[in-house]
Structure 1
């Protein structure tokens, strides 16, 4: 189950990305200091049921088991399971180091259950060796989403093994990861954000001609920081997880699909925004 279609190529820092067309607005906002903390330096997170930590090379088998499930991969860019360990290794390398040559790791985590918690129907699952079982992964996989077609804000997503759907693990996991994300050191940046996303953040009408910062107008709108996610409207479970976490649906659109079995076919998506807790929305 996935909130956002995978995009493992866009890891550009917020203050250097974005489209300058009429669909975007120049904003001043807060943003985590980049580069983000190195994968291996991030402290582990403990929730009521989960251990949340960065993935390591030793997690390759567990990640492959997750990415081998067709159900878990339905919302990904290619829409199919990994064919072999080599494909999973590429994804693990991205988790740990970011896109090749970027020097910027994403903010991605694994969701683990203690082995003593992995019994189902009274039987111990026969899984890869280790004291922990990888049941999901996710976080901020794109530090900047496409400003013209999506939002421009950092984009989150996740996937979980099908055996663990519907049990609240995704909500528990994302709530903890977002808490860690908001807790990172921050600075002030200027960046391009989708016009609709800015309208939501400032309480303006998206069609308001007086909304500054768009097109040739150099005015800057001061807005509170947000994160972004998308889901297919028909994916009720994913939409519900986002709504439980406080995300607000702000836009729906159709774009060509990228999945191998339906390349170019219409894909319906709904965009969601979540404001940084404690933010004060500033308006021009």
Structure 2
């Protein structure tokens, strides 16, 4: 699936290198309860659990810049990107998708740090929601969780139609954060019903 700037491709074992480049970055993975992957084997194990062959209810995608972007637009995106950024090589800049369907599917996403603040997460999530509703007719609800201090993620969810349904205090622990006991906001989006 494509958006104006991005291509979302079903996550596969062939994406391991890009997946590891993102998940091994402590800053990119700091909001995840699993934390960064220390080795490529850690990343392989984590990614394997997300693949559709191992999690049939999953809807997970690798996210790339479109290879057919106009040169001027690509140059603008790449201008201030670090030399090792996947933005420079049109490599994998993030992953997004759903897993766990008990009681409702849960959304998760992560982006390479150099891709932050460019609207990519909002663009990808808008496209993902269309595909999710089309591919998962058995579900009318999708939920997501965010630490209230993760304002970037909160903004993305709200822009894409998620609404806050609950705040949980001290619900989980991230030993590398201060304070380690963290609050969570539970967000929900529901399938738009066709007009009668």
Aligning the two structures, in what range does the TM-score lie when normalised by the shorter sequence?
Answer: 0.7 to 0.9
1:91 is displaced (CA, Å) by: 1.8
CA root-mean-square deviation: 2.8
Gaps of 5+ in 2: none
- The structure with the largest helix share of the pair is 2
CA contact (8 A) 1:228 1:272 kept: yes
- For residues 158 and 175 of structure 2, the distance between their equivalents in structure 1, rounded to whole angstroms, comes to 29
The structure with the larger Rg is 1
The aligned counterpart of 1:56 is: 12
The aligned counterpart of 1:156 is: 107
1:255 is displaced (CA, Å) by: 3.8
1:58 is displaced (CA, Å) by: 2.3
Gaps of 5+ in 1: 1-44, 145-151, 189-224
- For residues 138 and 250 of structure 1, the distance between their equivalents in structure 2, rounded to whole angstroms, comes to 21
**Residue of 246, 249, 252 corresponding to 2:164:** 249
Name the CA shift for 1:179/1:168 in 2 (closer, same or farther; >3 Å): same
Structure 1 residues 24-51: Cα deviation after superposition (integer angstroms, max 9, x where no partner): xxxxxxxxxxxxxxxxxxxxx0110001
- For residues 169 and 53 of structure 2, the distance between their equivalents in structure 1, rounded to whole angstroms, comes to 28
**1:234 aligned counterpart, secondary structure:** coil
Structure 1 residues 140-182: Cα deviation after superposition (integer angstroms, max 9, x where no partner): 12222xxxxxxx3211011101111111100111111110010
The aligned counterpart of 2:187 is: 272
1:133 matched to 2:133: no
With a CA cutoff of 8 Å and minimum separation of 6, indicate the structure with the bigger relative contact order: 1
**Residue of 123, 127, 143 corresponding to 1:172:** 123
The aligned counterpart of 2:58 is: 106
1:121 matched to 2:121: no
